């Protein structure tokens, strides 16, 4: 057997991730008025740009590329980067922050990005970082870029404010990320917290600078937020909580209660009441739908996404939204603390891409109704298998087979309504199509 | 005011990467396993292309009928920049052989492997001996020594040289050479339709879509039909076809049926190549009738409409003749041609010279053309423009082919002109 027969190799077509270059770009792009320059091949730049454009269509206006040719590996990329930096002040509005990231091959040749940026005499602050795929995937890039920004901009001498929290681990470039972040902020504000910042998810550089004021850091997506929480704990002594994502109505109340246990909120009861009303409303509605369409039942559900999304979504799916005989979760990467039970206690199987190397065709039942909550990547594998016993809803990128126009959260009770609506509509549509085929 | 494109592209070369080209050359050859000697992310990029292509096919009503082959990555990390990645690659190869029992391994090198300096060629040779399976690799590292097509053609050439053998030929059969969306894509389905009408059978699509074990039978075809394009695609595929002719004695056809005129030439050339001129003449008559009847339906809407053509692609990738011919057939009123800020002086001059062979309409630079665009009913463009108020029809790198392709293009123009919605980009 091979020395590394630990399944880490496996078929990449069965997995979903991007590049650290994209993740780093996503963190910075989540700060309004920040711009990014990729010092790397056009191919790598363009791939990252296309990924970010899914969430922000006009991203090309603040995501630039130096586009060096192959000779830059020998002679350096300085002339390409300088030309790009010189073009910037003319082409863009003055950014509050310019982030310059090197791709993997450009990082290897050792160009001094800081030196080149200084030479360009930029009239705005900048941060540089060697990046690229050798660093890892989306999460690694996101975290490293965040730490770079924190290192440079966080103010040290700030006074801690009671009831103030930061939300760590949100990205505007996860599917529904921007809408989810706003809803999380709304929920926390409604129970009496002040949300200081959500770095990488819409907070301004000015708000990020004051993150040290928070009394508690709330970590949502663990793979993105936990390393930042640890950083802030070390630097400011701030406690943190691995809260996960509040899917479902009961899930949202549990989420708020968990945070409340760490940092008491002033207005939790009012929100509990709102939750009960929503629960009643949804129960009545589902009863009515079931009267015609029957039980929302699946022989199997497969939930595949970045780990925190997948685990928390699976919990709400089985606990609140649908009846499932077998529930399988595929985490598209490991959690930093591998604490699956923190987020999900109801799954029959939990697999991790890159650790458990099992092909999707061997996971998904060939018979019986299957629900796939994942991305277009998993659906594409099933289409190629000519499976016609599944319905799918995208909860992660890539999402090629579904359109998202509304800024609609998936978290909270607004999100619970939205997900139930999607599940029922997919179920009804599938029922009608099946009848059409008979 | 100057018009601006949505994305800024400065590169003249090194615009793409050889690894996805290598992947695509064997992506559906059952029996092959592909390894990227690269960071994991490079394989994710190739997989993203794969997903996009699949959904494009699905959107056109064509479902892929076979699954892609396994794609592995040696998952180079920062530490390998110091200690080298050879051991890592060997471990990945061992896994691939033990887990998938491939009939052939293909290794693609990344720019990172190139900078580190791993001797992949030597590892490939050792693997062949150790596991007694063919291992193909190229001296081409990511974007360092070539681009997408260097990877695609490099592996294709190796496949021809090592695995294609002379065979007894079957009359009135052809082998497709090239990709263009695969057997379920527009190109292959359209030319298959026309060939079937002429009584000709397609035995496979090489290189990417034949099981590895069938490669030795590829030369049974009477002729090779190149599924070509412009620029590198055409040149590279023609070279491969010439190699096949030299090695296997199979003649080839390298006409690209990109518009109606070229489609007619293509049908005639197929008839000549496969000695079925009468069938070709009959098919041509039928296709001409079909084409004429259909496009005449659009004239009521298209005649006299104000059109502007924006060109920013180099001549080797975009020839203006086909689109100018369509504009003429639809009796559109071409108000002017805008050359976008994407050319060097020489490249601009080349494009100007070529355009002037086909039309005498005024030609503008991007800086002086905003008002022209605002007055147009629609803009045909090679680059998406930032202006969201004008109706744009995006001209693809690889235009659709045959009668169906030309009609689809005309239909897009017709529907764009029918649309009462302001702005937006329409894709052909």
Instruction: Please check the confidence at residue A235 and state whether its pLDDT lies above 90.
Output: yes
In a domain, A1, yes or no: no
Q: Contact B265/B253 with Cβ under 8 angstroms?
A: no
Same domain, A245 and A301: no
The answer to whether residue A91 scores a pLDDT higher than 90 is no
**What is the pLDDT confidence band of residue A5, given thresholds at 50, 70 and 90?**
very low
| pLDDT surpasses 50 at A1 | no
CA-based nearest distance A84→chain B, Å: 10
Q: pTM score, two decimals?
A: 0.91
Q: What is the pLDDT of residue B362?
A: 95
Average pLDDT of the residues in B286-303: 95
The domain boundary residue, chosen from A245, A268, A291? A268
Q: Which of B8, B58, B95 sits opposite A5 (nearest CB)?
A: B95
What single string gives the DSSP state of each residue in B17-85?
Answer: -HHHHHHHHHTT-TTEEEEEES-HHHHHHHHHHHHHHHHHHHHTT----SPPPPEEE----TTHHHH-S
Q: What is the reported pLDDT for B281? A: 97
My answer on whether A140 and A171 are in the same domain is: no
Q: Which residues of A touch B76 (CB under 8 A)?
A: 133-134
Whether residue B239 is found in the same domain as residue B137: no
User: Do B304 and B266 belong together in one domain?
Assistant: no
Residue at token pair 């994305």: B7
Distance from CA of B54 to the nearest CA of A (A): 7
User: Is-contact A66 A103, C-beta < 8 A?
Assistant: no
Rounded Cα distance between A102 and A107, Å, is: 5
Would you place residue B386 in the very low, low, confident or very high pLDDT band (cuts 50, 70, 90)?
A: confident
Confidence of residue B147 (pLDDT cuts 50, 70, 90): confident
Q: Decide: A202 and A182 in contact? Cβ < 8 Å.
A: yes
Q: Flag whether B4 is in a domain.
A: no
Q: What does the pLDDT read at residue A411?
A: 98
Residue B12 pLDDT level (bands cut at 50, 70, 90): low
Q: Of the given ranges (A14-23, A42-51, A70-79, B152-161), which has the lowest mean pLDDT?
A: A70-79
- Please provide the average confidence, as pLDDT, over all residues in chain A: 93
Rounded Cα distance, A2 and B178, in Å = 36
Q: Are residues A121 and A198 in the same domain?
A: no
Residues in chain A with CB shorter than 8 Å from the CB of B50 are: 13
With respect to residue A192, please indicate whether it lies within any of the assigned structural domains: yes
- Decide if B44 and A70 are in contact by the 8 Å CB cutoff: no
Whether residues B266 and B299 share a domain: the answer is no
Look at residue B390 and tell me if it is in a domain.
yes
Is residue A107 assigned to a domain?
A: yes
pLDDT exceeds 60 at position B408: yes
Would the pLDDT of A263 be above 70? yes
* pLDDT value at residue A4: 43
Q: For testing the chain B interface, which of A11, A46, A86 should be mutated: the one with the most B CBs within 10 Å?
A: A11
Q: What is the pLDDT of residues B221-273, one digit of tens each?
A: 999 999 987 777 788 999 999 999 999 999 999 888 988 899 999 999 999 99
Check whether residue B376 and residue B398 sit in a common domain. yes
Q: Does A401 score more than 80 pLDDT?
A: yes
Instruction: Indicate if B155 and B25 belong to the same structural domain.
Output: yes
> Is B44 in the same domain as B151?
yes
Cβ-Cβ contacts under 8 Å, A44 against chain B:
17, 45
A146 with A51, same domain: the answer is: yes
- End position of a domain, from candidates A153, A187, A212: A153
pLDDT, average across residues B347-372: 92
Beginning with the edge strand found earlier in the chain, give each strand of the sheet holding A297-305 in spatial order. Answer: A349-352, A323-331, A297-305, A370-374, A390-394
Q: What percent of chain A has pLDDT over 90?
A: 84
Give how far Cα B224 sits from Cα of A105, A363, B178, B180, B412, Å: 39, 41, 10, 15, 32
Give the minimum alpha-carbon distance from B411 to chain A in angstroms, rounded to a whole number.
24
Which of A103, A104, A388 has the highest number of chain B CBs within 10 A, making it the mutation to test binding with B? Answer: A104
Q: Are A321 and A331 in contact, with CB atoms under 8 Å apart?
A: no
Same domain, A264 and A330: no
pLDDT digits (tens, 9 = 90+) for B52-74: 999 998 998 887 878 899 999 99
Identify which has the larger pLDDT, A248 or B65.
Answer: A248
d(CA A346, CA A343): 9
Q: For residue B388, give the chain A residue with the closest CA.
A: A58
pLDDT band at B341 (very low <50, low <70, confident <90, very high): confident
Cβ separation of A17 and B42 shorter than 8 Å? no
Residue B11, domain member (yes or no): no
The mean per-residue pLDDT over the stretch A121-141 comes to: 93
List, in sequence order, every residue forming a beta bridge with B34; answer none if it has no partner: B71, B106
Examine residue B367 and state whether it is found in any structural domain, yes or no.
yes
The Cα–Cα gap between A30 and A171 comes to 7
As for how many domains chain A has, the answer is 3
Closest-CA distance of chain B to residue A163, Å: 40
- Residues A146, A215, single domain; the answer is no
Token pair of B254 as six digits: 């390298």
Does A10 fall in a domain?
A: no
> In CATH, what number is assigned to the domain containing residue B382?
3.40.50
Task: Specify whether B389 is located in the same domain as B362.
Answer: yes
Give Cβ neighbours of residue A103 (< 8 Å, ≥ 6 apart): A21, A38, A39, A40, A41, A44, A45, A131, A132
Number of domains in chain B: 3
Is the confidence at residue A341, as pLDDT, over 50?
Answer: yes
CA gap A209, B350 in Å, rounded: 53
Q: Which domain holds residue B106?
A: 18-162
Give the per-residue pLDDT at B13: 64
pLDDT category at A3 given cuts 50, 70, 90 is very low
**Mean predicted confidence (pLDDT) in B177-202:** 94
ipTM of predicted assembly, 2 dp: 0.92
Residues A281 and A225 in one domain: no
CATH assignment at residue B92: 3.40.50.1980
Verify that A218 and A293 share a domain, yes or no: no
Chain A residues close to B92, C-beta within 8 Å: 4, 9
Q: How confident is the model at residue B220 (pLDDT cuts 50, 70, 90)?
A: very high
Same structural domain, A347 and A399: yes
> Minimum mean pLDDT among B86-95, B140-149, B348-357: which range?
B140-149
| Cross-chain Cβ contact B44/A49 below 8 Å | no
Domain final position from B285, B314, B329 = B285
Nearest residue, CB atoms, B42 vs list A64, A69, A133: A133
Are residues B300 and B202 located together in one domain of the fold? no
On whether both A194 and A319 belong to a single domain, the answer is no
Whether A242 and A287 map to the same domain: the answer is no
Q: Does residue A9 fall inside a structural domain? A: no
* Whether the predicted pLDDT of A134 surpasses 70: yes
Q: Which residues of chain A have a CB within 8 Å of the CB of B145?
A: 70
Residue B100: inside a domain, yes or no? yes
Report yes or no on B374 lying in a domain. yes
Same domain, yes or no: A213 and A297 = no
B324 and B414 in a single domain? The answer is yes
Domain hosting A212: range is: 164-268
C-alpha to C-alpha distance for B418 and A319, rounded to whole angstroms: 50
Query: What's the CA gap between B6 and A107, in Å, rounded?
Result: 28
Q: Which of A101, A133, A153 is the last residue of a domain?
A: A153
CATH number for the domain spanning A390: value is: 3.40.50.1980
Nearest of B344, B225, B329, B212 to residue B273 by alpha carbon = B225
Res A87: pLDDT: 85
Question: B5 in a domain, yes or no?
Answer: no
- Residues of chain A positioned with their CB less than 8 A from the CB of B384: none
Distance CA(B58)–CA(B52), nearest Å, equals: 10
Q: In the prediction, which pLDDT does A378 show?
A: 97
Q: What's the pLDDT at B9?
A: 67
Residue B408 lies in a domain: yes
Most A CBs within 10 A among B44, B55, B84, B139, hence the mutation to make, goes to: B44
Tell me the pLDDT tens digit for each residue of A348-393.
999 999 888 889 999 999 999 999 999 999 999 999 998 989 999 9
The proportion of chain A whose per-residue pLDDT surpasses 70, expressed as a percent, equals: 97
- Confirm whether A159 is domain-assigned: no
B269 in the same domain as B313:
no
**B315-336 burial string, b = 16+ CB within 10 Å, else e?**
beebbbbbbbbbbebbebebbb
- From chain B, the residues in CB contact with A49 under 8 A are 7
The reported pLDDT for the residue numbered B255 is 87
- Give ∠ CA A192-A193-A195 in degrees, rounded to 5: 145
pLDDT level of residue A2 (50, 70, 90 thresholds)? very low
**End of a domain among B264, B285, B306?**
B285
The answer to the question of residue A125 being in a domain is yes
What residues in A contact B96, CB-CB < 8 Å? 9
Query: Are both B113 and B154 inside the same structural domain?
Result: yes
Residue of B nearest to A20 (CA): B41
Strand order across the B170-177 sheet = B201-206, B170-177, B221-226, B252-253
Q: Is residue A4 part of a domain?
A: no
**B276 shares a domain with B302:** no
Q: Give the residue from B285, B317, B348 where a domain finishes.
A: B285
């Amino acid at each position: 057997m091979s020395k590394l027969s630990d399944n880490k190799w496996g078929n990449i077509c069965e997995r979903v991730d991007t590049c650290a270059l994209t993740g780093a770009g996503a963190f910075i792009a989540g700060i309004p008025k920040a711009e990014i320059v990729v010092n790397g091949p056009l191919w790598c730049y363009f791939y990252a740009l296309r990924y970010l454009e899914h969430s922000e269509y006009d991203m090309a206006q603040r995501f630039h590329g130096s586009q060096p040719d192959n000779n830059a590996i020998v002679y350096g990329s300085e002339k390409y980067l300088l030309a790009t930096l010189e073009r910037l002040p003319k082409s863009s509005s003055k950014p509050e922050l310019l982030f310059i990231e090197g791709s993997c091959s450009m990082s290897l040749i050792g160009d001094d990005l800081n030196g080149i940026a200084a030479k360009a005499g930029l009239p705005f602050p900048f941060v540089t970082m060697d990046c690229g795929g050798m660093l890892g995937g989306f999460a690694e890039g996101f975290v490293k870029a965040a730490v770079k920004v924190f290192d440079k901009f966080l103010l040290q001498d700030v006074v801690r404010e009671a009831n103030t929290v930061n939300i760590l681990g949100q990205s505007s470039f996860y599917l529904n990320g921007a809408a989810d972040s706003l809803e999380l902020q709304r929920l926390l504000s409604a129970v009496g917290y002040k949300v200081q910042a959500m770095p990488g998810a819409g907070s301004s550089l000015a708000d990020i600078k004051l993150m040290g004021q928070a009394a508690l850091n709330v970590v949502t997506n663990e793979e993105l937020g936990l390393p930042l929480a640890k950083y802030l704990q070390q630097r400011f002594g701030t406690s943190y909580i691995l809260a996960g994502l509040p899917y479902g109505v009961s899930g949202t109340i549990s989420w708020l209660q968990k945070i409340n246990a760490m940092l008491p909120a002033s207005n939790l009861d009012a929100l509990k009441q709102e939750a009960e009303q929503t629960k009643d409303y949804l129960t009545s509605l589902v009863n009515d739908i079931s009267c015609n369409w029957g039980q929302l039942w699946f022989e199997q559900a497969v939930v595949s996404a970045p780990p925190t999304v997948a685990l928390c979504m699976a919990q709400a799916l089985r606990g609140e939204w649908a009846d499932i005989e077998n529930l399988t979760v595929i985490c598209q990467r490991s959690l930093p603390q591998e604490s699956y039970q923190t987020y999900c206690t109801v799954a029959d199987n939990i697999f991790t891409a890159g650790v458990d190397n099992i092909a999707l065709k061997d996971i998904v039942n060939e018979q019986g109704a299957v629900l796939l909550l994942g991305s277009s990547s998993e659906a594409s594998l099933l289409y190629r298998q000519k499976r016609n016993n599944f319905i799918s809803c995208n909860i992660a990128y890539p999402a090629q087979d579904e359109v998202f126009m509304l800024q609609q959260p998936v978290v909270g009770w607004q999100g619970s309504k939205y997900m139930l609506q999607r599940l029922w509509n997919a179920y009804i549509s599938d029922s009608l199509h099946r009848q059409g085929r008979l | 005011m100057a018009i601006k494109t949505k994305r800024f592209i400065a590169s003249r070369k090194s615009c793409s990467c050889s690894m996805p080209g290598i992947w695509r050359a064997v992506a559906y050859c059952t029996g092959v396993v592909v390894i990227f000697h690269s960071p994991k992310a490079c394989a994710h990029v190739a997989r993203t292309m794969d997903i996009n292509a699949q959904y494009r096919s699905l959107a056109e009503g064509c479902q892929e009928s076979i699954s892609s082959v396994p794609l592995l990555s040696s998952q180079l990390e920062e530490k390998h920049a110091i200690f080298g990645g050879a051991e890592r690659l060997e471990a990945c190869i061992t896994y691939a052989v033990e887990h998938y029992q491939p009939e052939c391994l293909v290794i693609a090198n990344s720019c990172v492997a190139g900078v580190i300096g791993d001797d992949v060629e030597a590892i490939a040779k050792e693997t062949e001996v150790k596991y007694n399976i063919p291992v193909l690799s190229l001296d081409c590292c990511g974007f360092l020594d070539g681009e997408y097509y260097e990877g695609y053609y490099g592996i294709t050439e190796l496949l021809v040289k090592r695995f294609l053998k002379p065979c007894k030929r079957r009359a009135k059969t052809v082998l497709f050479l090239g990709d263009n969306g695969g057997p379920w894509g527009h190109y292959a389905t359209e030319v298959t339709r026309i060939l079937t009408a002429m009584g000709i059978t397609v035995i496979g699509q090489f290189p990417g879509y034949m099981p590895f074990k069938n490669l030795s039978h590829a030369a049974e075809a009477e002729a090779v039909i190149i599924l070509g394009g412009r620029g590198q695609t055409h040149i590279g595929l023609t070279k491969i076809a010439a190699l096949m002719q030299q090695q296997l004695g199979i003649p080839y056809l390298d006409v690209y049926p990109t518009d109606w005129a070229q489609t007619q030439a293509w049908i005639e050339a197929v008839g000549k190549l496969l000695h079925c001129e009468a069938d070709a003449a009959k098919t041509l008559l039928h296709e001409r009738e079909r084409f004429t009847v259909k496009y005449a339906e659009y004239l009521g809407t298209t005649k006299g409409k104000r059109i502007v053509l924006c060109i920013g692609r180099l001549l080797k990738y975009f020839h203006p003749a086909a689109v100018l011919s369509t504009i003429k057939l639809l009796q559109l009123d071409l108000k002017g041609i805008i050359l976008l800020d994407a050319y060097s002086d020489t490249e601009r001059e080349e494009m100007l010279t070529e355009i002037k062979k086909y039309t005498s309409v005024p030609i503008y630079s991007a800086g002086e053309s905003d008002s022209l665009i605002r007055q147009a009913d629609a803009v045909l463009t090679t680059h998406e423009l930032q202006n969201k108020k004008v109706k744009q029809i995006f001209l693809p790198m690889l235009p659709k082919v045959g009668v169906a392709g030309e009609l689809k293009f005309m239909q897009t123009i017709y529907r764009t002109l029918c649309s009462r919605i302001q702005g937006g980009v329409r894709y052909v």
